């Protein structure tokens, strides 16, 4: 687990892969975990609250917080899952269920802005991966991460909202453990575990939005969209 230090503040239009390539010494097989916020900032997914007119619903949900922030959350939501004003748990257009539909005020470039999730985080990851290969020659995987809360447990863990260059779910169906017992219910969300592991060295306060995982035996290809539970199998919709 290697934190990538020395990245500058990311701005709209920046070539994020170039900034990462300059700050990290990447090798074939590395998994590069990038906090979505720097991806979103480079992609211009930042909203100025001064330009937002809150709806009546946003005012209802805001409690004592800024209703304009709630308005942005509502616009980013495909479905509201739970509310306890000003807390909103929503499903995003990507299918992710998370607090505030991924809209984040912390680490926003200015105090009156909020940062949205990337439009298509899997595509963002794929672009970063291709560009890193172009710049460094290294065949890396890329995970775009965000901090999600969980039902029934306190605190957030970082998970993969974008993925390129590795299979995010490892499926052991039909394989057998050391005792010969068939592992019939074992699918491991390795991309989420990699994102969480990277969070341990990235740190919220000291501005290290990228970490490299070296030595992980990554396999196959896949997207973070595959991790979303299909509605027909979802017991918690």
Name the residues that contact its own copies, by CB under 8 A. Answer: 1, 9, 82, 84, 87, 89, 91, 96-97, 99, 105-111, 147, 150-159, 168-170, 172, 175-190, 192-194, 196-197, 199-200, 204-207, 216, 226-229, 234-236
Nearest distance, CB of residue 38 and its own copies, angstroms = 12
48-54's contacts with Cβ under 8 Å and 24+ in sequence apart are 48/110, 48/112, 48/113, 49/112, 49/113, 49/114, 50/112
Nearest distance, CB of residue 14 and its own copies, angstroms = 16
Nearest distance, CB of residue 176 and its own copies, angstroms = 8
Q: Which pair of structure tokens corresponds to residue 91?
A: 């499903």
- 183 secondary structure, DSSP code: -
How many Å separate Cα 4 from the centre of its chain?
17
Nearest distance, CB of residue 169 and its own copies, angstroms = 5
3-class secondary-structure state, position 20? helix
User: How far is Cα 60 from Cα 74, in angstroms, rounded to an integer?
Assistant: 12
Nearest CB to its own copies, comparing residues 59 and 150: 150
Nearest CB to its own copies, comparing residues 127 and 160: 160
Q: 88: buried, middle or exposed (CB in 10 Å: 19+, 13-18, 0-12)?
A: buried
Nearest CB to its own copies, comparing residues 123 and 201: 201
Nearest CB to its own copies, comparing residues 58 and 208: 208
């Amino acid at each position: 687990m290697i934190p990538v230090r020395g990245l500058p503040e990311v701005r709209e239009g920046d070539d994020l892969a170039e900034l990462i390539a300059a700050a990290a010494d990447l090798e074939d097989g590395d998994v590069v975990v990038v906090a979505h916020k720097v991806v979103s900032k480079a992609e211009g997914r930042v909203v100025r609250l001064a330009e937002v007119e809150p709806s009546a619903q946003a005012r209802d949900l805001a409690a004592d917080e800024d209703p304009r922030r709630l308005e942005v959350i509502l616009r980013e939501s495909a479905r509201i899952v739970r509310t306890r004003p000003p807390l909103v748990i929503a499903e995003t257009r990507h299918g992710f269920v998370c607090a505030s539909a991924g809209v984040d005020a912390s680490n926003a470039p200015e105090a009156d802005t909020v940062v949205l999730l990337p439009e298509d985080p899997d595509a963002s990851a794929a672009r970063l991966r291709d560009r890193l290969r172009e710049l460094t020659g290294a065949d890396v995987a890329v995970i775009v991460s965000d901090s999600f809360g969980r039902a029934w447990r306190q605190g957030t863990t970082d998970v993969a909202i974008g993925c390129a260059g590795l299979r995010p779910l490892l499926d052991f169906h039909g394989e057998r453990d050391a005792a010969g017992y068939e592992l019939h219910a074992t699918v491991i969300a390795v991309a989420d575990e990699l994102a969480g592991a990277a969070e341990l060295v990235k740190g919220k306060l000291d501005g290290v939005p990228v970490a490299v995982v070296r030595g992980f035996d990554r396999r196959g290809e896949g997207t973070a969209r595959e991790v979303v539970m299909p509605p027909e199998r979802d017991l918690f919709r």
